[in-house]
Amino acid sequence: MDKPFPAIQHPNANNRGADWYVDKLMQALVFIGGISAIIFIVGIFVFITKEGLGFITDRFDFMEFFTTEYWFPSDEDDPEFGILALIAGTASVTGLAMIVAIPFALGAAIYIGEFATGKKREYLKVLVELLAAIPSVVWGFIGLSIMNPLIIKTFDVPVGLNVLNAGVILGLMAAPIMASIAEDALKAVPDSYREAAEAMGATRWQVITRVVLPAARNGLLGAVLLGVGRGFGETMAVLMATGHSVNIPGSIFDSVRALTATIAAELGETAVGSEHYGALFTIGIFLFIITFLINLTADLIVKGIKKG
């Protein structure tokens, strides 16, 4: 004899039970979580704009700010606010970092995603993610204490804190997170694509270059742009490894100074509300807009590819 079907109490359809209230409460909570991202973004933008506004209205000169390379914000008689050299510093370091990071990251992602199997793959993934979690000050320290003497000795140059040092350090820093995202992108390519290509007689490498990489290009582009964003925003490692001297680099052995490092190094020494203080926040606004544009571009490209 079968056991009887256990009794189930159905709630009264005319009354809102506890479940209904829990449902509404949880919806409200996750709504707050979701909307807070917008609130924080707007809040940060309002804050840095407010702090930089005094400088922008009273002292800011577009041509001086973006096209001159003289950054003497604390000169008592004739302060100058040109960030061209700082932009050049950030751009050169980020550019070199991407040249270093992209091959490393793509190579790692392709090896982990397409060739490594079983335990090897698991260990490598964990290691790469561990690398991504190393604090930037540690990378800066490596730049100062290992890369610096190494560059001086190897290339016979007077200073080892320069574009090369910071670019390599930043590249190594950005590579793991780029590799991780790129590997996710490769993993998102269905195995049926690989099987189809393999069944046609394509070699492993042909499958990767002709089918997998093109199919994953959105995610790979996202990974690269994330690395660029990381390069623009990174502060501590570039502060320690660039040499921190205002200079438009003529070669990779010149010391430079980055936009972010300038804010970090000088903000503590400026009087709140002073011109110098406002100028640093204006750099902040500039960084914010650049980052926003990078992300927006990435978004539009990805969407454009999807539609096409």
Cα 157 to Cα 255: distance, rounded to the nearest angstrom: 11
Q: Which of 18, 86, 33 is nearest to 280 (CA)?
A: 86
How many residues bind to other proteins according to rule CB under 8 A? Answer: 19
User: Residue 12, interface with other proteins (CB under 8 A)?
Assistant: no
Q: Which DSSP letter does residue 9 get? A: P
Among 45, 60, 72, 193, which residue interacts with other proteins (rule: CB under 8 A)?
193
User: Residue 201, interface with other proteins (CB under 8 A)?
Assistant: yes
User: Residue 87, interface with other proteins (CB under 8 A)?
Assistant: no
In the chain, how long is the greatest CA-to-CA distance? Answer: 101
Cα 51 to Cα 81: distance, rounded to the nearest angstrom: 16
CB of 192 to other proteins, least distance (A): 5
- Residues found in the chain: 308
What Rg, from alpha-carbon coordinates, does the chain have? 26
**Residues numbered 108-127 forming contacts with other proteins, rule: CB under 8 A:** 117-118
User: Residue 36, interface with other proteins (CB under 8 A)?
Assistant: no
Nearer to other proteins by Cβ, of 93 and 211: the residue is 211
User: Residue 188, interface with other proteins (CB under 8 A)?
Assistant: no
User: Residue 225, interface with other proteins (CB under 8 A)?
Assistant: no
Q: Which stretch binds other proteins (CB under 8 A): 53-61, 138-146, 190-198, 285-293?
A: 190-198
User: Residue 300, interface with other proteins (CB under 8 A)?
Assistant: no
User: Residue 297, interface with other proteins (CB under 8 A)?
Assistant: no
Among 49, 68, 206, 295, which residue interacts with other proteins (rule: CB under 8 A)?
206
User: Residue 103, interface with other proteins (CB under 8 A)?
Assistant: no
User: Residue 199, interface with other proteins (CB under 8 A)?
Assistant: yes
Q: Which stretch binds other proteins (CB under 8 A): 135-143, 156-164, 188-196, 266-274?
A: 188-196
Q: Which stretch binds other proteins (CB under 8 A): 7-15, 36-44, 211-219, 227-235?
A: 211-219
Cα 224 to Cα 302: distance, rounded to the nearest angstrom: 13
Nearer to other proteins by Cβ, of 199 and 272: the residue is 199
Cα 140 to Cα 264: distance, rounded to the nearest angstrom: 14
CA distances 130 to 125, 179, 276, Å, are 9, 12, 39
Cα 285 to Cα 80: distance, rounded to the nearest angstrom: 18
Amino acid making up residue 49: T
Among 11, 135, 149, 214, which residue interacts with other proteins (rule: CB under 8 A)?
214
Structure tokens at 243: 């040499």
User: Residue 296, interface with other proteins (CB under 8 A)?
Assistant: no
Nearer to other proteins by Cβ, of 96 and 185: the residue is 185
User: Residue 4, interface with other proteins (CB under 8 A)?
Assistant: no
Tell me the angle at which helices 259-266 and 84-110 cross, rounded to the nearest 10 degrees. Answer: 120
Contact by Cβ (8 Å): 249, 88: yes
Phi/psi at 86 (nearest 5 deg)?
A: -70, -40
Among 116, 210, 270, 301, which residue interacts with other proteins (rule: CB under 8 A)?
210
* Number of neighbours of residue 216 by Cβ within 10 angstroms: 24
Among 53, 124, 215, 302, which residue interacts with other proteins (rule: CB under 8 A)?
215
- Bridge partner residues of 81 (DSSP): 71
- The binding site for other proteins (CB under 8 A) comprises 117-118, 192-193, 195-203, 206, 210-211, 214-215, 308
